[in-house]
Structure 1
């Protein structure tokens, strides 16, 4: 899925429709389960207020969660709901973090998946432990803000131990189509 949003535009969004309140509660609950920090700090009330209309749209195999014409979260098939980088930059504490070495930056920003050696290099840091399928924020060496959002393809223990192959699938990165299009209006 690396590069799903590479050439993304609002024309790629189909079936944008308001969801029933029960579906909206389900999305909200799934997001809170993945990111307990949002519920513990009541940030979820700011992001997805209970009385606000929630819309979903499709872009291929990706479902977008949209409020006030702004994409807040997205989900590929049955994967975890992932925040857009704009949301992650507002609430960086919400996700587990991995930091790549300098050599990986240009590849990640072009949409490439994150390889294990880029996460095990002496300049890289695995801040938080995670399991396969877990959502993670990808930071660049010496940078404050996340450059990508991804899904672990190996546990962090295996990334360290095996140290080859794809460690994280890059789902959304700075300057991709989703980043360049802050809202759907």
Structure 2
């Protein structure tokens, strides 16, 4: 008989002053308990269906504390290139790009472990990148411009596991509290970018494997994680099982707590 431990709740965190998002509202009500696993590795019947994670755990590049590193200013040509990359990856940013990256702003880069780079403007974290992969928005930027990025929603039962760095599994999205894109493309005139948002700012276009996505949560206002899909949203609906996002940046992780002033 093997024993697996479900993740413990995260502690209250002191957040950056420009965006106050209290994590008290995100804390699970009960402490983690040891769970017995069968020899086949299946969850016993006593475990609620709301538990959606891989019990063997998954490594997360930001799960541990990150040490602050020196920042270096980027050349204007590099800033222009990053700006174009952002608009290509996130067309809905067109409305906000001059506010996020002012043309006279001084964008800086901070080198992080695992070949990651964090881009900072006036002490505020904006985007990060692993090697030359697609830029991902820092959650503090997502909280400022929540409608600018594609999103999905997890149910209440999956929240505690996402906030512990576990792999997000399909049942947390296909349950009654979860939400996936409808697949019915809705283009609003004010967006002008050919992307799908309905009148309630809910993402409608199906997302493909490898695309970046924001993770919202049932009953919560702020997004709780951001990462790349390892399964397209249509496949999530069709299969209803398997990992959906791995190695996400989530509320309370090392990247969230990293000082960038």
So what's the TM-score if we normalise by structure 2? 0.64
**Residue number in structure 2 paired with 1:30:** 85
**Residue number in structure 2 paired with 1:46:** 99
Structure 1 85/100 Cα, relative in aligned 2: closer, same or farther at 3 Å? same
Candidates 149, 160, 167, aligned match of 1:113: 167
Aligned partners of 1:106 and 1:18: how far apart in 2? 37
Structure 1 170/101 Cα, relative in aligned 2: closer, same or farther at 3 Å? farther
What secondary structure, in the 3-state scheme, does the structure 1 residue paired with 2:81 have? helix
Deviation at 1:9, TM superposition (A): 3.1
Measured against aligned partners, the alpha-carbon deviations of 1:135-184 in whole angstroms (never above 9, x if no partner) come to: 11111112121111111111111111122221112421111122223x42
**Residue number in structure 2 paired with 1:5:** 62
Candidates 119, 127, 135, aligned match of 1:81: 135
Aligned partners of 2:151 and 2:236: how far apart in 1? 14
**Residue number in structure 2 paired with 1:162:** 239
Residue 20, structure 1, aligned to residue 75, structure 2: yes
Q: How many residues align?
A: 180
So what's the TM-score if we normalise by structure 1? 0.89
Q: Which runs of 5+ in 1 are unaligned?
A: none
**Residue number in structure 1 paired with 2:145:** 91
Candidates 215, 225, 243, aligned match of 1:148: 225
Tell me which of the two structures has the higher relative contact order, counting C-alpha pairs closer than 8 angstroms and 6 or more residues apart.
1
**Residue number in structure 1 paired with 2:16:** none
Q: Which structure: larger Rg?
A: 2
Structure (1 or 2) with the greater helix fraction = 1
Q: Which runs of 5+ in 2 are unaligned?
A: 1-57, 182-202
**8 Å Cα contact 1:89-1:145 kept in structure 2:** yes
Deviation at 1:78, TM superposition (A): 2.8
**Residue number in structure 1 paired with 2:185:** none
**8 Å Cα contact 2:90-2:149 kept in structure 1:** yes
Measured against aligned partners, the alpha-carbon deviations of 1:80-132 in whole angstroms (never above 9, x if no partner) come to: 21111111111110111111112211110011121111111122111342011
Structure (1 or 2) with the greater strand fraction = 1
